[in-house]
Structure 1
Amino acid sequence: MKHTPLFTLLVGAALAFTTATMPAHADDSSKKQTSAYPNATRAEPKLDLKSEKDQKALNDGVAAVNSGDSAKATQVLQPIIDKSDSKYAQAFALYLMANVSFKNGDVKAAIDQSKRSLDIGVLPNDTYFQEMLTLAQMYAGDQQYQASLDTIAKWRTEGKSETADSYGLEGVDYYYLQKYPEAIAAIQKAKSLTDKPKDSWNQVLMSSYAESGQGAEASKMAQSEYEKNPSDSSMLHNASTILLQQQDYAGAIKILEEGRANGALKDEADWILLVKAYLMQAQNGGGDTKAGSAKALAAFDDGVAKGAIKPSADNYKLAGDAAMIGDDDVKAIGYYQKASPLATDGEVDMALGGAYFQEQKFSDAKKYLTQAIAKGVKHKGHAYMMLGESDRQLKDKAGAVAAVKQAALDPETADKAQEWLKKSGK
Structure 2
Amino acid sequence: MIFRSPKQAVLSVLIATALGGVVVADASAQSRSSERSERGNRGSAKAEVLFPEATREEPKVKASSKMGGKLKKLFDAYNKDEYAETRTLADEIIAAADANEYDKAVANQLASQAAYNLEDNAAAKQYLQQAITLNALDNNGHYQALLMLAQLQLQDDQYAEGLANLDKYFAESKSNKPEEQIIKGQALYQSEKYAEAIPVLKAAIAASPEPKDNWNQLLMAAYAEAGQTGEAVKEAEALAARNPADKKAQLNLASMYMQADQMDKAAAVMDKLRAAGQLTEEREYKQLYSIYANTENKERDVIAVINEGMSKGILKPDYQTYLALAQSYYYTEQVPQAIEAWRNAAPLSKDGETYLNLARVLHAEGRIPEAKQAARDAKAKGVKNPGDADKIINLK
TM-score > 0.5 by shorter chain: yes
1:293 equivalent in structure 2: 299
2:284 equivalent in structure 1: 270
CA positional deviation for 1:163: 1.1
Q: Which of 197, 206, 210 does residue 211 from structure 2 map onto?
A: 197
Structure-2 change in CA distance of 1:368 and 1:131 (3 Å):
farther
Whether the aligned pair in 2 keeps the contact of 1:329 and 1:355 (CA below 8 Å) is: no
The equivalences for 1:28-43 within 5 A come to: 34-43=48-57
Structure-2 change in CA distance of 1:30 and 1:390 (3 Å):
farther
Deviates more, 1:318-327 or 1:245-254: 318-327
2:350 equivalent in structure 1: 346
1:208 equivalent in structure 2: 222
CA distance in 2, matches of 1:62, 1:335: 66
Flag structure 1 segments of 5+ consecutive residues without an equivalent.
Answer: 65-71, 283-287, 374-379, 396-426
Question: Percent of pairs identical after alignment?
Answer: 23
Flag structure 2 segments of 5+ consecutive residues without an equivalent.
Answer: 1-14, 97-102, 364-369
CA distance in 1, matches of 2:256, 2:334: 31
Structure-2 change in CA distance of 1:89 and 1:139 (3 Å):
closer
RMSD: 3.1
Structure-2 change in CA distance of 1:265 and 1:96 (3 Å):
same
The equivalences for 1:249-398 within 5 A come to: 249-282=263-296, 288=297, 292-326=298-332, 328-339=334-345, 343=348, 346-347=350-351, 349-360=352-363, 361-373=370-382, 380-382=383-385, 384-393=386-395, 395=396
Whether the aligned pair in 1 keeps the contact of 2:16 and 2:221 (CA below 8 Å) is: yes
CA positional deviation for 1:241: 0.9
Structure-2 change in CA distance of 1:357 and 1:152 (3 Å):
same
1:418 equivalent in structure 2: none
Whether the aligned pair in 1 keeps the contact of 2:159 and 2:191 (CA below 8 Å) is: yes
Q: Is 1:48 the counterpart of 2:57 in the alignment?
A: no
1:419 equivalent in structure 2: none
1:95 equivalent in structure 2: 112
Q: Which of 151, 165, 168 does residue 182 from structure 2 map onto?
A: 168
CA distance in 2, matches of 1:35, 1:139: 26
Whether the aligned pair in 1 keeps the contact of 2:113 and 2:124 (CA below 8 Å) is: no
CA distance in 2, matches of 1:354, 1:298: 23
CA positional deviation for 1:109: 5.2
1:245 equivalent in structure 2: 259
CA positional deviation for 1:275: 0.7
Q: The residue matched to 2:35 in structure 1 has which SS?
A: coil
Higher RCO, 1 vs 2 (CA within 8 Å, ≥6 residues apart): 2
TM-score (norm 2): 0.79
1:421 equivalent in structure 2: none
Count residues with an aligned counterpart: 361
Q: Which of 150, 167, 175 does residue 153 from structure 1 map onto?
A: 167
2:132 equivalent in structure 1: 118
